[in-house]
């Protein structure tokens, strides 16, 4: 007898993403969790609207999927939420002269969370606490689709290469605390990961990219690496492979950080945007 509950899963109609309706994430049993987990693997990004999670609730829901990573440091070197080292705050709000979170109000470029680490999180869960009426949308792109649409000749050329995932800059373009910036990707701090990976749970092959800035294909000249990466990035972030989400307060969005990249639009710096994020520890990726 299956333990899985039956969920109201509404696909976005785009290349990835689905909304799960009529679930309160404060109270999920094993059957609901199993169904959410299946939907997450199938759709890569899940949206839950109208949630009223405290920080402790957000952490508890995230822990259903595994142990949590500590949040990365803010640009200023601070951690964000006293007592909750797992919570990363994404915000442009400044209180008493100190930013309460990261990434400001500008664009956050396409990226995979924390991929500059040897074992990046497998998932991120982002909850909207305050949002601007316009701007600040977050887009997601499928890296399964990216690999499938890569031209055959390009796929053959890069199939066995590793790519350097830069740790110098965050997706808002800010230098990470304690680092001296360099724009030579060969020298920059970061981690090499296989460019094509096998998803450890679905068994599907996908591209694995971090951030375009300071990326480098191991063993190639910078010129050749840049030319190939530009083509790969253009394919991977093509509109046909993306889904854009316009936030409401109470939205929780969870993505598979192994096979999805995301970016965020800029918004009015005078508006307030406050988002709380958790990161679920990874399972080391295998090259394909
Ligand atoms: C993030 O990169 O995790 C933040 C995305 C957002 O601000 O919507």
**Three-class DSSP category at 58:** helix
22 CA to middle of ligand 1, Å? Answer: 25
Q: Which CATH code is given to the segment(s) 3-280?
A: 3.60.130.10
Residue with token string 């939907």: 39
Beta-sheet strand order (sheet of 108-111): 108-111, 260-264, 138-142, 242-245
Ligand 1 atom nearest to 124, measured from its CA: 3
**Is the CA virtual torsion 155, 156, 161, 164 positive or negative?**
negative
Q: Is 211 in the pocket of ligand 1 (CB under 6 A)?
A: no
- Reduce the DSSP state of residue 54 to 3 states and report it: coil
Per-residue pLDDT tens digits of the chain, which is 288 residues long: 457 888 999 999 999 999 999 999 999 999 999 999 999 999 999 999 999 999 999 999 999 999 999 988 776 666 667 788 999 999 999 999 888 999 999 999 999 999 999 999 999 999 999 999 999 999 999 999 999 999 999 999 999 999 999 888 888 788 877 778 888 888 888 899 999 999 999 999 999 999 999 999 999 999 999 999 999 999 999 999 999 999 999 999 999 999 999 999 999 999 999 999 999 999 866 677
The Cα 244–Cα 262 span in angstroms is 9
Q: Partners of 176 in the beta sheet? A: none
Residue 171 CB less than 6 A away from ligand 1: yes
User: Residue 12 is encoded by which pair of tokens?
Assistant: 């976005």
What the block records as the tokens of 178 is: 């304690």
Q: How many helices (H) and strands (E) does the chain have?
A: 5, 21
| CA of residue 12 to ligand 1 center, whole Å | 19
Place of tokens 């299946």: 38
Q: What is the 3-class SS of 77-141, one letter each residue?
A: CCCCCCCCCCCEEEECCEECCEECCEECCCCEEEECCCCCCCCCCCEEEEEEEECCCCCCCEEEE
By CB atoms closer than 10 A (0-12, 13-18, 19+), residue 278 is: buried
């Amino acid at each position: 007898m299956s333990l899985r509950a039956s969920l109201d899963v509404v696909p976005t109609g785009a290349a990835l993403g689905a909304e799960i309706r009529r679930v309160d994430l404060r109270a999920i049993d094993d059957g609901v969790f199993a169904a959410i987990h299946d939907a997450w693997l199938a759709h890569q990004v899940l949206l839950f609207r109208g949630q009223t999670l405290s920080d402790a609730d957000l952490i508890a829901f995230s822990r259903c999927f595994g142990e949590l990573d500590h949040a990365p440091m803010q640009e200023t070197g601070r951690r964000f939420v006293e007592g909750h080292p797992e919570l990363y705050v994404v915000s442009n709000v400044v209180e008493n002269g100190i930013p309460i979170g990261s990434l400001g109000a500008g664009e956050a470029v396409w990226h995979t969370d924390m991929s500059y680490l040897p074992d990046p999180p497998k998932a991120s869960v982002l909850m909207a606490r305050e949002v601007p009426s316009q701007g600040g949308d977050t887009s997601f792109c499928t890296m399964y689709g990216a690999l499938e649409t890569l031209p055959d000749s390009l796929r053959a050329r890069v199939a066995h290469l590793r790519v350097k995932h830069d740790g110098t800059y965050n997706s808002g373009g800010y230098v990470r605390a304690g680092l001296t910036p360099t724009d030579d990707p060969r020298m920059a701090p970061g981690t090499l990961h296989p460019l094509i990976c096998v998803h450890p749970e679905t068994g599907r092959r996908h591209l694995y990219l971090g951030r375009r800035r300071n990326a480098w294909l191991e063993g190639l000249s910078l010129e050749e690496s840049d030319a190939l990466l530009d083509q790969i990035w253009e394919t991977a972030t093509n509109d046909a492979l993306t889904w854009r989400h316009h936030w409401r307060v109470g939205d929780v969005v969870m993505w598979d950080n192994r096979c999805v990249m995301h970016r965020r639009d800029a918004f009015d710096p005078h508006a307030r945007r406050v988002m709380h994020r958790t990161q679920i520890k990874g399972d080391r990726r295998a090259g394909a």
